């Protein structure tokens, strides 16, 4: 899932943590620039995040995606 959490203050960033029950699935919380996505994410993840950023930029809903591609 992709969520728009808005802009966080440094204090809000520092207060974030991974819930204990999620440690098997989530290794870390990181902030990336759009330019870093292709290097740091799996291709389907980078596509999904880019779709979410475009939807936000144009004030649209995120379309249904499958592995980062538009679902049929």
Taking the domains of the chain in order of start, what are their residue ranges? Answer: 10-70
- Residues whose CB is less than 8 angstroms from the CB of residue 36 and which lie 6 or more positions away in sequence, other chains included: none
Q: What is the mean pLDDT of the chain?
A: 87
Distance from C-alpha of 14 to C-alpha of 16, rounded to nearest angstrom: 6
Minimal CA–CA distance to 54: which of 62, 42, 46?
A: 62
Residue 24 has pLDDT above 90, yes or no: yes
Residue 25 has pLDDT above 70, yes or no: yes
Across the range 16-45, mean pLDDT stands at 91
For tokens 């330019």, the residue is 35
Token representation of residue 11: 């204090």
Residue 65 parent element (H or E): strand 65-66
């Amino acid at each position: 899932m992709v969520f728009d959490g808005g802009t966080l203050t440094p204090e809000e960033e520092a207060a974030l943590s991974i819930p204990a029950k999620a440690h098997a699935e989530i290794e870390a919380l990181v902030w990336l620039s759009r330019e870093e996505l292709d290097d740091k994410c799996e291709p389907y993840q980078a596509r999904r995040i880019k779709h979410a950023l475009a939807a936000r930029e144009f004030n649209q809903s995120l379309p249904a995606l499958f592995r980062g591609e538009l679902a049929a």
